[in-house]
Amino acid sequence: MKFSDAQQKEVIEATTGQLLGFIVDAEIDKDTGFIISFVVEAQGAYPSFFNKKGETKKIAVQNIAIIGKDVIIVSKSLFED
């Protein structure tokens, strides 16, 4: 999958089904060249207390549960600061 494809997918919290945002960047291991985490920016007209618009969080690749056709499913508890 291309990075640009991942950027078009909604990132959804598995337990609540809440839209967390979209991937805006990736952290790459300089030794291996593999993606180690994605940076997700909060989106939406009505940001929640947890997810203010413009706020970003990192999600480690190994903590992504499912990458589907239209969405990426993660657990909010798996976010890194």
Separation between Cα atoms, residue 20 and residue 58, nearest integer Å? 12
Instruction: Give how many domains the chain has, as a whole number.
Output: 1
| Torsion region of 54: left, alpha or beta (phi above 0 gives left; psi -120 to 50 gives alpha) | left
**pLDDT for 3:** 82
In this prediction the pTM is 0.73
pLDDT over 70, % of the chain:
79
Q: Tell me the residue range of the domain where 53 lies.
A: 3-80
> Under DSSP, is residue 5 helix (H, G, I), strand (E, B) or coil?
helix
Domain CATH for 39: 2.30.30.240
Say if residues 12 and 18 touch (Cβ distance below 8 Å): yes
Q: Which of 77 and 45 is assigned the larger pLDDT? A: 77
Separation between Cα atoms, residue 16 and residue 34, nearest integer Å? 30
Separation between Cα atoms, residue 33 and residue 21, nearest integer Å? 25
